Amino acid sequence: MQKKQIISINGPVIKAKGKGDFAMHDIVYISKEKILGEVIKLDKDIATIQVYEGTTGLKIGEDVEGLEEPLSLTLGPRNNRNYI
């Protein structure tokens, strides 16, 4: 897992800086609360992250852990029908 630390919080967007290598669209967990976010911009060692939960209570310096995988969702049940 890659790690950075929060350097700014602006509503649902945070910035994190550090030595960890994040990639665009990577899933991240923010703070020990494991708040879900996604990397939306990279500029050298600073990652801009869209937070998908509330940011209330987050503090500068808290860890951001990159999972090194893109965000994915199951939108409906899978079925075994073959469509032509």
Q: Using one digit for the tens of pLDDT, what is the confidence trace for 26-82?
A: 999 999 999 999 999 999 999 999 999 999 999 999 999 999 888 777 777 766 666
Residue 32 DSSP code = T
DSSP bridge pairs for 14: 9, 49
Is residue 37 one of the residues assigned to a domain? yes
Residue with the two structure tokens 């899933």: 27
In a domain? residue 80: no
Q: What is the rounded distance in angstroms from the CA atom of residue 19 to the CA atom of residue 83?
A: 47
User: 54 or 83: which carries more pLDDT confidence?
Assistant: 54
pLDDT of residue 62: 98
Give the total number of structural domains in the chain. 1
pLDDT value, residue 20: 82
Residue 55: domain span = 2-70
Q: How far apart are CA 36 and CA 57, in angstroms?
A: 14
pLDDT at 78: 66
Residue 18 in any domain: the answer is yes
Residue 83: inside a domain: no
- Asked, for residue 79, whether it belongs to a domain, the answer is no
pTM of the entire structure?
Answer: 0.83
Query: Residue 52 falls within a domain, yes or no?
Result: yes
CATH number at residue 29: 2.40.30.20
